[in-house]
Amino acid sequence: MRQLVLLKDIPDLTEITIDNERRPKIEGVKTKISDLDKRALEAAIQAKDKVGGEIAVLSMGDEKTKTALLEALAMGADSAYMIIEQMLRGVDANATSIVLEAAVRKIGDYDVVICGEMSLDSLSSQIGPRLAELLDIPQITYVKEFELSEGKVKAVRDLETADMVAEASLPAVITVVREINEPRIPSLMNIMKAKRKPQTIWSLADLGLSSEDIEKISYVKIKDVKAPLVVRKQIKIEADSVEEAAKKLAAAIREEGVL
Protein backbone atom coordinates (compact mmCIF):
# COMPACT_ATOMS: atom_id res chain seq x y z
CA MET A 1 0.00 0.00 0.00
CA ARG A 2 1.53 3.29 -1.10
CA GLN A 3 -0.13 6.45 0.15
CA LEU A 4 0.57 9.83 -1.44
CA VAL A 5 -0.21 12.82 0.79
CA LEU A 6 -0.57 16.31 -0.67
CA LEU A 7 0.80 19.05 1.55
CA LYS A 8 0.74 22.82 1.21
CA ASP A 9 2.98 25.09 3.22
CA ILE A 10 1.32 28.40 4.10
CA PRO A 11 2.39 31.44 6.12
CA ASP A 12 2.09 30.90 9.87
CA LEU A 13 -1.19 32.72 10.47
CA THR A 14 -0.25 33.49 14.08
CA GLU A 15 2.70 35.59 12.90
CA ILE A 16 0.90 37.70 10.29
CA THR A 17 0.33 41.35 11.22
CA ILE A 18 -1.56 44.15 9.45
CA ASP A 19 0.16 47.35 8.27
CA ASN A 20 -1.24 50.89 8.29
CA GLU A 21 -2.94 50.32 4.94
CA ARG A 22 -4.72 47.21 6.30
CA ARG A 23 -2.62 44.84 4.21
CA PRO A 24 -1.13 41.65 5.70
CA LYS A 25 2.61 41.71 6.35
CA ILE A 26 3.99 38.33 5.33
CA GLU A 27 7.55 39.33 4.54
CA GLY A 28 9.80 37.25 6.76
CA VAL A 29 6.93 35.15 8.12
CA LYS A 30 7.89 31.48 8.27
CA THR A 31 5.72 28.89 6.53
CA LYS A 32 4.30 25.69 7.94
CA ILE A 33 2.17 22.81 6.70
CA SER A 34 -1.51 23.74 6.52
CA ASP A 35 -3.27 22.22 9.52
CA LEU A 36 -5.75 20.07 7.57
CA ASP A 37 -2.98 18.71 5.35
CA LYS A 38 -1.04 17.80 8.47
CA ARG A 39 -4.10 15.86 9.67
CA ALA A 40 -4.17 14.11 6.30
CA LEU A 41 -0.58 13.02 6.91
CA GLU A 42 -1.41 11.84 10.42
CA ALA A 43 -4.31 9.81 9.00
CA ALA A 44 -1.95 8.22 6.48
CA ILE A 45 0.53 7.34 9.23
CA GLN A 46 -2.20 5.70 11.29
CA ALA A 47 -3.38 3.77 8.23
CA LYS A 48 0.19 2.64 7.56
CA ASP A 49 0.41 1.29 11.11
CA LYS A 50 -2.54 -0.98 10.25
CA VAL A 51 -1.88 -2.06 6.67
CA GLY A 52 1.83 -1.38 6.20
CA GLY A 53 3.34 0.08 3.05
CA GLU A 54 4.91 3.50 2.65
CA ILE A 55 3.98 7.18 2.62
CA ALA A 56 5.24 9.77 0.15
CA VAL A 57 4.38 13.46 0.47
CA LEU A 58 4.01 15.85 -2.45
CA SER A 59 4.08 19.64 -2.39
CA MET A 60 4.71 22.61 -4.66
CA GLY A 61 6.06 26.02 -3.73
CA ASP A 62 9.39 27.79 -3.30
CA GLU A 63 12.53 27.35 -1.22
CA LYS A 64 10.56 27.66 2.04
CA THR A 65 8.68 24.50 1.08
CA LYS A 66 11.81 22.41 1.59
CA THR A 67 12.01 23.44 5.24
CA ALA A 68 8.29 22.92 5.88
CA LEU A 69 8.36 19.39 4.45
CA LEU A 70 11.08 18.34 6.88
CA GLU A 71 8.34 18.32 9.51
CA ALA A 72 6.34 15.87 7.39
CA LEU A 73 9.35 13.56 7.14
CA ALA A 74 9.89 13.87 10.89
CA MET A 75 6.25 12.98 11.55
CA GLY A 76 6.60 9.70 9.67
CA ALA A 77 6.52 10.18 5.90
CA ASP A 78 9.05 7.97 4.11
CA SER A 79 9.92 10.29 1.23
CA ALA A 80 9.10 13.71 -0.20
CA TYR A 81 8.54 15.10 -3.68
CA MET A 82 8.61 18.87 -4.29
CA ILE A 83 8.00 21.09 -7.30
CA ILE A 84 10.02 24.23 -6.59
CA GLU A 85 9.26 27.35 -8.65
CA GLN A 86 8.79 30.81 -7.16
CA MET A 87 5.85 31.62 -9.46
CA LEU A 88 3.84 28.68 -8.12
CA ARG A 89 3.04 30.67 -4.97
CA GLY A 90 0.56 32.81 -6.87
CA VAL A 91 -1.33 30.36 -9.10
CA ASP A 92 -4.98 29.40 -8.67
CA ALA A 93 -6.64 26.03 -8.00
CA ASN A 94 -6.90 25.17 -11.68
CA ALA A 95 -3.18 25.61 -12.36
CA THR A 96 -2.24 23.98 -9.05
CA SER A 97 -4.26 20.85 -9.78
CA ILE A 98 -2.71 20.53 -13.26
CA VAL A 99 0.83 20.79 -11.85
CA LEU A 100 0.01 18.24 -9.15
CA GLU A 101 -1.55 15.90 -11.72
CA ALA A 102 1.68 15.96 -13.74
CA ALA A 103 3.68 15.23 -10.57
CA VAL A 104 1.41 12.37 -9.49
CA ARG A 105 1.65 10.78 -12.92
CA LYS A 106 5.44 11.11 -12.81
CA ILE A 107 5.53 9.44 -9.38
CA GLY A 108 3.36 6.74 -10.88
CA ASP A 109 3.03 4.13 -8.16
CA TYR A 110 0.32 4.97 -5.59
CA ASP A 111 -2.85 3.44 -4.14
CA VAL A 112 -4.47 6.46 -2.52
CA VAL A 113 -3.99 10.24 -2.60
CA ILE A 114 -4.89 12.03 0.64
CA CYS A 115 -5.15 15.75 1.37
CA GLY A 116 -6.98 18.18 3.63
CA GLU A 117 -10.44 19.29 2.51
CA MET A 118 -8.97 22.80 2.09
CA SER A 119 -5.84 24.78 2.87
CA LEU A 120 -6.18 27.47 5.49
CA ASP A 121 -4.98 30.30 3.24
CA SER A 122 -7.32 30.02 0.25
CA LEU A 123 -10.14 27.89 1.76
CA SER A 124 -11.16 26.79 -1.75
CA SER A 125 -11.76 23.02 -1.19
CA GLN A 126 -11.03 22.48 -4.89
CA ILE A 127 -7.67 20.72 -5.16
CA GLY A 128 -8.70 17.20 -4.13
CA PRO A 129 -11.79 17.02 -6.37
CA ARG A 130 -10.02 18.68 -9.33
CA LEU A 131 -7.09 16.27 -9.05
CA ALA A 132 -9.39 13.24 -8.91
CA GLU A 133 -11.12 14.39 -12.10
CA LEU A 134 -7.82 14.97 -13.90
CA LEU A 135 -6.53 11.55 -12.84
CA ASP A 136 -9.93 9.99 -13.66
CA ILE A 137 -10.12 8.12 -10.34
CA PRO A 138 -12.83 7.97 -7.62
CA GLN A 139 -12.95 10.56 -4.85
CA ILE A 140 -14.41 10.69 -1.33
CA THR A 141 -14.53 14.13 0.29
CA TYR A 142 -15.05 15.44 3.85
CA VAL A 143 -13.73 12.22 5.40
CA LYS A 144 -13.51 11.97 9.19
CA GLU A 145 -12.64 8.26 9.32
CA PHE A 146 -11.40 5.72 6.78
CA GLU A 147 -10.01 2.22 6.39
CA LEU A 148 -7.79 0.92 3.62
CA SER A 149 -7.95 -2.68 2.48
CA GLU A 150 -6.91 -4.62 -0.60
CA GLY A 151 -8.31 -2.75 -3.55
CA LYS A 152 -10.70 -0.37 -1.75
CA VAL A 153 -11.18 2.40 0.77
CA LYS A 154 -14.18 2.66 3.12
CA ALA A 155 -14.79 6.06 4.67
CA VAL A 156 -17.17 8.00 6.89
CA ARG A 157 -18.05 11.42 5.44
CA ASP A 158 -18.92 14.33 7.73
CA LEU A 159 -21.90 16.12 6.14
CA GLU A 160 -22.53 18.38 9.19
CA THR A 161 -26.09 17.21 9.86
CA ALA A 162 -25.40 13.54 9.09
CA ASP A 163 -22.65 11.00 8.46
CA MET A 164 -22.40 9.04 5.22
CA VAL A 165 -20.50 5.80 4.73
CA ALA A 166 -18.90 5.61 1.29
CA GLU A 167 -16.69 3.07 -0.44
CA ALA A 168 -14.47 3.41 -3.50
CA SER A 169 -12.07 1.26 -5.43
CA LEU A 170 -8.37 2.11 -5.39
CA PRO A 171 -6.62 4.18 -6.54
CA ALA A 172 -8.72 7.02 -5.17
CA VAL A 173 -8.48 10.54 -3.77
CA ILE A 174 -9.80 11.32 -0.29
CA THR A 175 -9.97 14.70 1.47
CA VAL A 176 -10.13 14.84 5.26
CA VAL A 177 -11.77 17.18 7.78
CA ARG A 178 -10.39 18.55 11.03
CA GLU A 179 -12.28 16.01 13.15
CA ILE A 180 -10.31 13.06 11.77
CA ASN A 181 -7.44 13.28 14.29
CA GLU A 182 -4.93 15.37 16.20
CA PRO A 183 -1.49 15.41 14.49
CA ARG A 184 1.47 14.04 16.43
CA ILE A 185 4.46 16.13 17.46
CA PRO A 186 7.69 14.65 16.03
CA SER A 187 10.29 13.44 18.50
CA LEU A 188 13.77 14.97 18.51
CA MET A 189 15.24 11.73 17.15
CA ASN A 190 12.78 11.68 14.23
CA ILE A 191 13.53 15.34 13.49
CA MET A 192 17.22 14.47 13.21
CA LYS A 193 16.44 11.49 10.94
CA ALA A 194 14.20 13.54 8.62
CA LYS A 195 17.04 15.12 6.63
CA ARG A 196 18.35 11.66 5.70
CA LYS A 197 15.09 10.55 4.07
CA PRO A 198 14.76 10.65 0.25
CA GLN A 199 13.77 14.06 -1.15
CA THR A 200 13.12 14.60 -4.84
CA ILE A 201 12.99 18.15 -6.18
CA TRP A 202 11.50 18.92 -9.60
CA SER A 203 11.13 22.06 -11.67
CA LEU A 204 8.17 22.64 -13.96
CA ALA A 205 10.37 21.62 -16.87
CA ASP A 206 10.93 18.23 -15.24
CA LEU A 207 7.17 17.71 -15.45
CA GLY A 208 6.96 18.79 -19.06
CA LEU A 209 5.44 22.16 -18.10
CA SER A 210 6.56 25.77 -18.34
CA SER A 211 5.90 28.83 -16.21
CA GLU A 212 4.33 30.53 -19.23
CA ASP A 213 1.84 27.67 -19.71
CA ILE A 214 0.93 27.61 -16.02
CA GLU A 215 0.47 31.38 -15.95
CA LYS A 216 -2.00 31.14 -18.84
CA ILE A 217 -4.20 28.57 -17.09
CA SER A 218 -4.15 30.36 -13.73
CA TYR A 219 -7.38 32.27 -14.28
CA VAL A 220 -8.01 33.73 -10.82
CA LYS A 221 -5.84 36.77 -10.12
CA ILE A 222 -5.72 38.28 -6.62
CA LYS A 223 -5.19 42.00 -7.05
CA ASP A 224 -5.24 43.06 -3.42
CA VAL A 225 -5.92 41.77 0.09
CA LYS A 226 -7.06 44.06 2.87
CA ALA A 227 -8.25 43.51 6.41
CA PRO A 228 -11.78 44.81 7.19
CA LEU A 229 -11.96 48.42 8.30
CA VAL A 230 -12.83 48.44 12.00
CA VAL A 231 -13.91 51.73 13.55
CA ARG A 232 -14.32 51.64 17.31
CA LYS A 233 -16.76 54.06 18.95
CA GLN A 234 -14.85 53.95 22.25
CA ILE A 235 -17.91 54.53 24.41
CA LYS A 236 -16.89 54.76 28.05
CA ILE A 237 -19.29 53.68 30.80
CA GLU A 238 -18.86 55.51 34.10
CA ALA A 239 -20.83 54.50 37.19
CA ASP A 240 -20.60 54.34 40.99
CA SER A 241 -21.62 50.69 41.23
CA VAL A 242 -21.62 47.49 39.23
CA GLU A 243 -25.42 47.56 39.00
CA GLU A 244 -25.45 51.10 37.63
CA ALA A 245 -22.69 50.23 35.14
CA ALA A 246 -24.68 47.19 33.97
CA LYS A 247 -27.80 49.29 33.39
CA LYS A 248 -25.87 51.95 31.45
CA LEU A 249 -24.13 49.29 29.38
CA ALA A 250 -27.44 47.59 28.55
CA ALA A 251 -28.95 50.95 27.58
CA ALA A 252 -25.97 51.73 25.33
CA ILE A 253 -26.25 48.34 23.64
CA ARG A 254 -29.98 48.82 23.05
CA GLU A 255 -29.31 52.24 21.61
CA GLU A 256 -26.91 50.72 19.11
CA GLY A 257 -29.61 48.26 18.03
CA VAL A 258 -27.72 45.17 19.16
CA LEU A 259 -30.53 44.13 21.53
Measured between alpha carbons, how far is 63 from 245 in angstroms, rounded to an integer? 56
> What CATH architecture is 2-216?
3-Layer(aba) Sandwich (3.40)
- How many other CB atoms are found less than 10 A from the CB of residue 57? 26
Confidence of residue 29 (pLDDT cuts 50, 70, 90): confident
| Predicted pLDDT at 50 | 95
Length of the chain: 259
Measured between alpha carbons, how far is 137 from 115 in angstroms, rounded to an integer? 15
Confidence of residue 229 (pLDDT cuts 50, 70, 90): confident
Beta bridge partners of 54: 2
pTM of the model: 0.86
Q: What is the mean pLDDT of residues 83-105?
A: 94
Measured between alpha carbons, how far is 202 from 107 in angstroms, rounded to an integer? 11
What's the Cα-to-Cα distance from 123 to each of 14, 40, 119, 225, 239, rounded to whole Å?
A: 17, 16, 5, 15, 46
Measured between alpha carbons, how far is 86 from 219 in angstroms, rounded to an integer? 18
